[in-house]
Amino acid sequence: MMKILMNKILVVVCVLFYSTLSFSQGLVENELSTNPSIISKYNQLKVSYKAASIYDTLRLGVKGILDDFSAEGPYPDTSLWLDNKVFINRDFAKAPITLGVATFEGLDYNGYPYDFTAGSTSSAVADFLTSKPIHLNNLLSDSIYLSFYYQPQGNGNAPEYPDSLVVQFKNGTLGWKNVWAKRGSTLTSNDSSWSLAMIPINDTAYLKDGFQFRFYNRATISGNTDHWNIDYVYLNKTRNINDTTFEDVTFVYNTPSLLNTYSAMPWKQYSASDMKLNYNTSIRNNHTVTKNGSFIYKIFNDLGVQVNTTYSGGSFNIDPFSSSGYMNYAAFTNPALNFTIPILTAASRYSIESTISSTPDNDRGNDTVRFVQDLTNYFSYDDGTAENSFGLSTLYAQLAEKFTLNIADSLQYIDIYFNPFLINSSIYSFNIHVWTDGGGVPGTAIYISALPDSPEYGMVMPNQFIRYKLDAPLYLNPGTFYVGFKQNTNQFLNVGVDKNTNTQSKIFYNVTGSWNASPFVGSLMLHPVFGSASEFTDISEERKSENIGVVYPNPASDQLFIDGFSDTQKISFTIFDLLGNVVIHNSVYDNFIDISNLGSGVYFIQMNDEENSSTLKFIKLK
């Protein structure tokens, strides 16, 4: 059993020896190739999203320019920033300074790599975060500082030594100039490794109107790797080198699930005993002095109506994080839930809104957190965002996850988030399995799909979950069961993993004939979906149609060949780029399509004949 450390040299080794099974047997933890959160948001916003205007100019004012990235992402705040390359999130940082960070990696604003074909040992300029122009005219040169916190790796992949995080300054006539840089490094075990950078703006050449600053990183631009997180970017006048503390009491993580075991569960399965008696928050005082604060929370139903009496934890002194760590006063950080979800008669959602208040406070944006509790038709342990993935490299290996039914119900679907890694695994197959409990591990297989399925990576459901329908509904009695698959390949069929929740004791794999629990922290992104057949008659989340055609080779350099249609002479096709732009539209004449004029990258091809339609993804090589 071996965990693959995703530094660039090992990735090259993986590529060279992939077909000869150089990977050790066992469960392997792999990095992500894309960012499903950004892909989902990009597809929602690609028509309506408007980038910030470069003609807007900022003034420092009293509070200066401050962004703690606590606003909803995944894109930066357009009132402050000009580009949308970095990922604004609450998942990739370890022990963040405030609620939310900006994460730099090797992905473009659409969630896909800048260049799928870039070498795995390469290091190139990737993400930018560029400020709007700023008025700095007539300010004193010894009083202006830009500060920010930075962290390599976090919950993601460590940037190697050739990778870096860089800060540049710009004046309209001088262009961009490097003023600060940091080489990549790896976090040690249980190390948050946040550092504060203080950069003076003391060159009078910058004390003009139209000054700008920007961050950029160097990374492998063929995947979601080489992560840097930054937090609490602050630019202001009347500062000095010792101005390193901030009057800010903040939440640092999202509110967790209100359920004891799951992040979501079917409404029919819910009982009052499934709800926590208390829930947890993480509160941090970033000042060097004790601050008095208050705490409340409210719970709302899916109509937005408050259903609890507003909880108040009163007021209490919050000691500095630098001396005492996170606050540990139970009335604030482990409050009792003063509401019990009633017996449900239909799918429901509840949201909890928690607020911390202190005066004065530099930033109110990080003082409120919300969580939506889903009680619809599926079980899940994860928070819906993948930071990593698990895979197996053994023929007929099995992967399973453990769940428990409170009452009998019918299993209809399995939702799985598959992550492509090194190769396109959609050409390989697996069979869905459901097992009984075998004394704490999967036991007898009570369901095996009649026909194999394959991983899919299209945006069929949010966060790239794909819905796999069972051959027939499987009626399960109350008790423990396991769902997963048996793969028909020795290639990785990677399933997304949430690293912010940990249910590794419920994840099992089998490569030698016996079951083992996962050795890695995280929650598998695999959801069993329950209900009567009538509830899914018009479901829009089910896969739209089966792709009957195939194109090969994939990746390809000059030509794509077509198979699977009865008469290729009647096929018309359209090729789209990742932005949805049509790059080729034509008919097929000789069973192949000329793609030699396309630039390298990822494309989608939609093929149609008189009766069928098929949409597939392919990679064009240089």
Which segment of 106-115, 174-183, 335-344 scores lowest on mean pLDDT?
Answer: 106-115
Quote the CA–CA distance of 92 and 35 in Å, as a whole number: 11
Measured torsion, CA atoms of residues 33, 37, 38, 40, in degrees rounded to the nearest 10: 110
Tell me the one-letter amino acid at 58. L
Encode burial over 432-443: b for 16+ CB neighbours within 10 A, e otherwise: bbbbeeeeebbe
What tens digit of pLDDT does each residue of 124-147 get?
A: 999 999 999 999 887 777 789 999
Give pLDDT, residue 444: 97
Which structure tokens are listed for 315? 């007021």
- For residues 35 and 224, is the Cβ–Cβ distance under 8 A? yes
Residue 322 pLDDT more than 60? yes
Residue 520 pLDDT more than 60? yes
Give pLDDT, residue 608: 76
Closest to 328 in 3D by CA, of 284, 277, 276, 370: 284
pLDDT band at 579 (very low <50, low <70, confident <90, very high): low
Q: Collect all residues with Cβ–Cβ distance below 8 Å to 358 and sequence separation of at least 6.
A: 249, 285, 291, 292, 293, 294, 318
Long-range contacts of 18-21 (CB under 8 A, 24+ apart): 18/422, 18/423, 18/491, 21/393, 21/394, 21/490
Which structure tokens are listed for 405? 């039914």
Per domain, the residue ranges of the chain are 50-250, 267-375, 388-536, 550-620
Give pLDDT, residue 224: 86
Which structure tokens are listed for 302? 């899916």
Give pLDDT, residue 567: 63
Where do runs of H (alpha helix) occur along 139-286? Answer: none
Residue 428 pLDDT more than 50? yes
Quote the CA–CA distance of 221 and 110 in Å, as a whole number: 13
pLDDT band at 568 (very low <50, low <70, confident <90, very high): low
What tens digit of pLDDT does each residue of 437-478 get?
A: 999 999 999 999 998 888 876 543 334 688 999 999 999 999
Architecture in CATH of 50-250 = Sandwich (2.60)
Which segment of 153-157, 370-374, 486-490, 546-550 scores lowest on mean pLDDT?
Answer: 546-550
Closest to 111 in 3D by CA, of 39, 47, 32, 217: 39
Quote the CA–CA distance of 618 and 552 in Å, as a whole number: 9
Task: Over range 489-509, report the average pLDDT.
Answer: 93
CA angle 437, 259, 435 (to 5 degrees): 15
Q: 602 or 584: which carries more pLDDT confidence? A: 584
- Answering whether pTM is above 0.85, one says no
Q: Give the CATH class of 550-620.
A: mainly beta
Hey, is 24 helix, strand or coil? Answer: coil
What tens digit of pLDDT does each residue of 198-239 get?
A: 999 988 889 888 899 999 999 999 888 899 999 999 999 989
Fold classification of 388-536 is Jelly Rolls (2.60.120)
Q: Do 550-620 and 267-375 fall under one CATH topology?
A: yes
- CATH pick for 267-375 out of 3.20.20.150, 3.40.50.720, 2.60.40.10, 1.10.357.10: 2.60.40.10
The neighbour count for residue 106, using CB atoms within 10 Å, is 29
